[in-house]
Chains A and B, each alone.
Chain A
């Protein structure tokens, strides 16, 4: 990965993390009898890479769904960019600058890679039906501008070759990459990644790590991600939040978390796919 290869001949500046970007305060949510999250609190700081880990069914995905408004908490608040909110629609959170990818790829299968990522720009585009119908003036201009922007993302993710391919035909690894591209297209301040490396081979994982690093570096995007591969997590995270059965059991730097007894127990307690 980038950092490693250049380590010996550069002085990489110490990563300075900004203030709190998003604050989760005593969040609880339940579906029927199932209590998915119980009084969870933590915060995400500007320009950091935060990992949320935990055994299956610990409520990780539910947490992401809360963060971008797919679900609403039963109690507790989420403060984003200083403004508190109880409930909001996903598209509102999108316009506030939260983007995300899904555990099992949620691309628009009927469209090409290019169109998928273009769709990610929809918030940046006008909806004037008349100019679009004539493909004239502003509409055409914005199509061109946005295309230019999207092409930079395509270049960034190194997917030039599959630009025109319907995403349905792409191998899993590439689909994940395209989905990341779609999320990036919104120029989010906070990027939520739900198991970005699930089901990838080592090489694909390395690529994905590189991209996450680079986008965090180049665009200063804050990243909160769920990941099972502990190697990866410990490698790329500035901080780690550990959930278990809906409760937060640890929160801190990779080393601190690795040391935490609670975490060790939790992971010994479960015997499956972790790392």
Chain B
């Protein structure tokens, strides 16, 4: 309805292949970005930032990462939590070892560690597929968590086994540690999400992304046209883990401030998996939507009884929440396996050809 595409013709492939080729879309994105960067930090309460927006952003990065691996390359992984842990712990080690190193830089490097680990645990994908692989990734999950639990070196021998985000500044602004304001941490997280999302989008629309999807859709045919299965899968594992790693660092430094290994246990892996199922497998946008949905859900669920002032003891609420979670996942798989992103896409198409139905 709002689209006016007549006359938006392309005279070069550059125009034709740009990220948002429709003018109206570009306006929308611009407006939205402005809103997210300017309006939100001004008006959002600390609760909103700390309890909803920042977690959302942190998980969004992980979700994008997992979607690259599972949604685009078709390799189901249950090891997300482990890779996030690698990011968190490696950045913790780095920043405590080199306090002067720019924290942003550390985030980016921590991703590399996760990527390396990802490659190691991706190796089995050469030989094993599907469920077997999924289980293999569980191995990484358990092993890594165990590792960070047992090897005191990782948490600098602190008796509690907890790691803390030390105060660090960027351009004189305090971005981590107890003294940092939620606004700042929100903005940093948002920047990471924005940049990484674009990077991911570029990857999947480029040659690499196509080879991933080729492997996903029909690996035999893919190999026949010259795609090297191992290299392709490993690249997916590496990049996916990179995203998860950065997400892990963000979780420690920009959200919680202090974590123990329990934070990264198997349930995180499931949580992120749910995000991409609900959001949409094989869609970057979907990863974001899914992350938003799953982070909001519990908050909504816990608030509903309050709003309807139905007395509900905490434990019961917890159980119901679990049920609803599971229910929603099954529902989505049945109703719209391609997730919310698909619904969004359909809606957009309808607007483009409005008033015609198809």
Contact = CB atoms under 8 A, between A and B. Distances in A.
Given A108-B221, A111-B210, A147 B226 contact: no
A241 interface: no
Contact of B223 (A90, A102, A109, A125): A90
B211 interface: yes
B105 to A, nearest CB: 16
Given A94-B224, A108-B221, A143-B17, A119 B210 contact: yes
Interface residues of A, number: 42
B271 interface: no
Contacts of B13: 143-144, 147-148
B199 A99 contact: no
A61 interface: no
Given A108-B218, A129-B208, A120 B202 contact: no
Given A108-B213, A144-B13, A134 B202 contact: yes
B67 interface: no
Contacts of B25: none
Interface in A91-123: 91, 94-95, 99-100, 102, 106-111, 115, 118-123
A115 B210 contact: yes
Contacts of A147: 13, 16-17
B177 to A, nearest CB: 30
Interface in B190-222: 199, 202-203, 205-208, 210-211, 213-214, 216-218, 220-222
B199 A134 contact: yes
A115 to B, nearest CB: 6
24 contacts: A89-B223, A90-B223, A91-B226, A91-B228, A94-B225, A94-B226, A102-B221, A106-B220, A108-B218, A109-B218, A111-B214, A115-B210, A118-B210, A119-B225, A122-B207, A123-B226, A125-B207, A129-B208, A129-B239, A139-B202, A139-B207, A143-B17, A143-B207, A147-B16
A70 interface: yes
B217 to A, nearest CB: 4
Among A106, A109, A120, A133, which residue has the most Cβ atoms of chain B within 10 A?
A133
B248 interface: no
Interface string A59-73: 000000000101000
B300 to A, nearest CB: 32
A228 interface: no
Interface in A111-165: 111, 115, 118-123, 125-127, 129, 132-135, 139-140, 142-144, 146-148
A91 B217 CA distance: 17
Nearest to B17: A143
B207 A127 contact: yes
A24 interface: no
Interface in B221-251: 221-229, 231, 235, 239
A270 to B, nearest CB: 29
B49 to A, nearest CB: 28
B14 interface: yes
B282 interface: yes
Contacts of A115: 210, 213
A132 B206 contact: yes
A73 B342 CA distance: 45
Nearest to B224: A90
A122 B211 contact: yes
Interface in B1-41: 13-14, 16-17, 19
A208 to B, nearest CB: 19
Interface string A164-187: 000000000000000000110010
A65 B213 CA distance: 23
B218 A107 contact: yes
A143 B202 CA distance: 11
Contact of A139 (B16, B206, B216): B206
Contact of A122 (B218, B225, B282): B225
Given A90-B223, A123-B226, A182-B225, A109 B206 contact: no
A95 to B, nearest CB: 5
Contacts of B222: 108, 119
A171 B216 CA distance: 22
A238 B229 CA distance: 36
A122 B206 contact: no
A132 B239 CA distance: 12
The 6 closest A-B pairs by CB, nearest first: A94-B226, A135-B202, A108-B217, A106-B221, A123-B226, A125-B207
A110 B216 contact: yes
A111 B213 contact: yes
Given A133-B199, A144-B13, A127 B235 contact: yes
Contacts of A148: 13
A134 B282 CA distance: 20
Contacts of A127: 207-208, 231, 235
Contacts of A135: 19, 202, 205-206
B195 to A, nearest CB: 10
Contact of B214 (A70, A94, A119, A142): A119
Contacts of B217: 107-111
A90 to B, nearest CB: 4
Given A132-B202, A134-B199, A122 B226 contact: yes
A120 B227 CA distance: 9
A186 to B, nearest CB: 6
A186 B227 CA distance: 12
Nearest to B208: A132
Given A118-B210, A143-B17, 15 more contacts: A90-B224, A94-B226, A102-B221, A107-B217, A107-B221, A108-B218, A110-B282, A119-B222, A122-B226, A123-B225, A127-B231, A132-B206, A135-B206, A139-B207, A143-B207
A100 B218 CA distance: 14
B235 A91 contact: no
